[in-house]
Structures are given as structure tokens and as C-alpha cells.
Structure 1
């Protein structure tokens, strides 16, 4: 039976991936390989680690191997039916929290695993939060996360606004599919394993953004905000669409890397 150190060395993985799998499978921290690395590995651990390491070498995202990912200091269940949470999306959460009034209502369009809606509900238990997605697979994961993190959140199946009727909200947020259909990044890294329908609109990357903007005004209260994530090169197009739809205080905010990431506007009436 190989030692833990030999398992790690022969895995072909980067050290952060090794540490993540060791912690996931055995609860072992980063110091474990230093203090116990020369010990014979537990056979069950070795078998599971070897299997997951092979999947990781094939490119499968670590988050899918672990079945979870941290976002905004919360741990979310994730799987192949949803996007993997990314730190740049925390900007959208911050902006929504700043604009959500006490006791206000917020809806998250295309919620995926629920990271935006559930984080906001966790931070602001006074708010009334609704999470929508058209994907049954995504909703199963979102509901599992909601039951653990924010059971007060309403999770509904909806093609954008279709399930909302005449409801109105103080804030509408969304992280829609915004990658252009021919973008080479779709064939690289983790994106190869994430649901394509959650990444691209199979067009110019603005199809869903147009739908969200065009449907927002009747569903926003006076003084309400629409905020959505987009690609680093879509800020200008997003602002043009918001202004054409009659939004006020239209602007774009940059993410932690200094890239255009979120645009939004105010509905005056």
C-alpha cells in the first residue's frame, strides 16, 4: 500500500488540488502530508483518491469532484447541472445588498445553484427573496441549498419572468448566459464541463440580457434597481440597452480584476 506522500506525488495534480481532495476525503489539513506523509495510506482512502485524481487529470472541475464550492463565506452544493460559483459574482451580491431596502423584495433570474439569491437572503433575512430558473436540474440543487442556508427563499421554475405574473420588486438581479457562441473559452478549462446553456445564448451573448432588460420595467417598483452580470467586453452594450429601455443612473461596475462585470440602472417610475 502506498504512503500518503506517494499517493500525492504520483497523482499528477497540483498541490491545491491535492489538499482539496485530501480534506474532502479524509478531513486532512495541509499539515497532514508533513506529519503523516510517510504512513501507509488507508486502502479505502487511496482507492477514492486515485479515482478522483484521474477525473481531475481529465479536466473535471474540483468543485464538481467535491460537490461543493464556497461563495461569500457560505458553502454551496454544486454539480454538473449548474455553473461553478466564481468570486467576481460577489460584486453583484454587494451591489444588490446596498440597494435592497429594509423589508424589500428581490428576484434572482436564472439562479442556478442559488448563490446570489441565497446569499442575499442569508445576509438580509428581512428581505423577501425569490429565485427562478428554467432548468429542473438547477432547481433541484438550488432547493437543496435553500433548505440548508435560507429556507425562506421561494424557488420557482420560470423562463425569465414568466412565473411572476404582475409581481413587482425593489431589486432584480441576474447572472445570465452571456458568452458568445463561438468564444474559444467555451472549449477550455472548467467551462468544458459546465452546462453550455448556462454559459452561452448560442448567439452574440446579449440575447438573454436584452430579454431581462426589456422585461424589467413593469416588474420594478418606482426607485427599483436592475443589476446583472456580463462579460468584460459587454459594458458599453449593456449601458446602451439600459438607456434605450429608459433606465436612469445607468452605470457599469468593475470586478476584483478591474474588468467591467456588472451593469445596472434605476427605474424612476
Structure 2
């Protein structure tokens, strides 16, 4: 490759907030001076809180996306179709050597489908993870993305067994570990003691008294919060658990809405 030849381009696709925490160390490595590669960050806009993203970019030490598809919300079908429609011209214009997708959101399968139909190699980070629950949209996204990916990077040994059982060539599978651990290590020095966080948010003294003895939970999946009976059972169970150990429960907007509705 001569000095005039552009370096191979990898398009790194993210769609939801957790994806940024996974992509940050990958993007840093790809953009390192001697990586021999170019990398561009494509944000589909599947999650789209502008203020939150600016804070996220700052916290993770990554620049804003090179490309923003701005797809917004919608049903699974609408969102997936919109991503595919807007991602195709990006591939036509940039002609990447490969695309890299992470996780299991609609952006993952949508962009992988567009790329594979254009004979562009697909790299899937977090391949092979399974809940074995086809009622979860993410499970469908995982399975389909793995079937059409050229390079499958796994975070755990069980993932390879899952992929082999589904008929995927073992030569495509590479155990690389969990990139979230890289993000954790990069940010450990900035970690705030739990007691300080509790105090800032006005939590009862029971949290600050023994900051190692508490639980943190999140609850927002439609399958958990959209059905009144299921949500009620979960909340009753959490109430029982809270008698044994203090629970910090950051309320997702969807969950807050459903609690008020029911």
C-alpha cells in the first residue's frame, strides 16, 4: 500500500446508548496512529436524547458521530426499514472495507442486512449471546445478525457453543472478551464513591451507612412493564426484597408512565 492509498475504512455502527460504551474502546483502537485502519462512527439515532448524548461523548472520550442517520423512534418494522433506507447511501458513498456492529438492537440487524447484500463484510461484536426467548426482539436480532456476519467476536466461551449449534463455521468465531471491561478500566479513576452518589440524590441514610450492602435495579422492558399484572408482581417482589436490602431504583420514563397508568 503506497502513501497515496487510503487506509481501509471500517464503519462502526451504534444505535442505542449502551452501544456507545461498547464501541468506545474499539473506536479508540481503530483510530490509533499505527492501526493501519480508518474508522468512522455511524449513529443511527435509534435513541435520540441530544443532551444525554453530548454528556455520553464527553464521559467516554469519543468525538461526536461522523454520520447521524436521525431515524428516531417507531415500531420495530418502521425503525428497521428507516435505518436500512438511510444506511444504504452511506455505504455507496464511503465504500467501506467492512462494517462493525455491536449488540442486538434494531440498528445492528438493519445495517448488517444492508451491508451483506452489498457484499461488504460484517463484523459482529458480542456475537453468540442468547436468552433462548424468541419473544424478545433482541433475541431475533442476535440470531439473524450472527447468521449473516463474516467475523463473530464473542465475549464468553458459551457463545461459541451457541453459534456452533446454530451451524455457524467455527473459523468465523473469535473469542475476544468483553469490551465493556475496557470501558470500565478506562473510567475507574473517575468513579465516584457510592455513598457520595446516594447523598447527592437525597437517598436515605441507610444507603450511606454501608455503601456495600445495597442493590441497584433497572426495569423497563415492555415485557416486564406493559402488562399490569406482571408489573404489579415484580413491584411486590421488589418490595419484599427491599425489606432485606436497600434498593436504588432509577426509574426509566417508560416504567414511570406505566406505574402512573396502572
Name the TM-score class by shorter chain: 0.3 to 0.5
Q: TM-score, normalised by structure 1?
A: 0.35
Q: Which structure has the highest strand share of the two?
A: 1
Higher relative helix content: 2
TM-score (norm 2): 0.35
